[in-house]
Amino acid sequence: MLILDKPAGLPVHAGPRGGASLEDFLPALAFGKKRLPQPAHRLDTDTAGCLVLGRTKPALAELGGFFAAGQVAKTYWAVVRGGPAEAAGEIDAPLQKRSTAKDGWRMVVDAAGQPARTEWQVLGRGDDLAWLELRPRTGRTHQLRVHCAHRGWPILGDTRYGGGEGRLHLLARAIALPLDPPVAAEAPPPPHMLAALRRCGWRG
Predicted TM-score (pTM) of the model is: 0.94
Do residues 53 and 62 touch, judged by C-beta distance below 8 A? Answer: no
Q: What is the pLDDT of residues 136-181, one digit of tens each?
A: 999 999 999 999 999 999 999 999 999 999 999 999 999 999 999 9
Q: Is the dihedral of CA 23, 24, 29, 33 positive or negative?
A: positive
* Backbone phi, psi, residue 108, to 5°: -135, 155
| Residue 195 reports pLDDT greater than 90 | yes
Q: What is the pLDDT of residues 26-65, one digit of tens each?
A: 999 999 999 999 999 999 999 999 999 999 999 999 999 9
In the chain, where the domains are located = 2-199
Is 92 tagged catalytic?
no
Model confidence band, residue 93 (pLDDT cutoffs 50, 70, 90): very high
Annotated catalytic residue, options 24, 44, 128, 158: 44
Q: Which fold has domain 2-199?
A: Pseudouridine synthase (3.30.2350)
The per-residue pLDDT for 130 is: 98
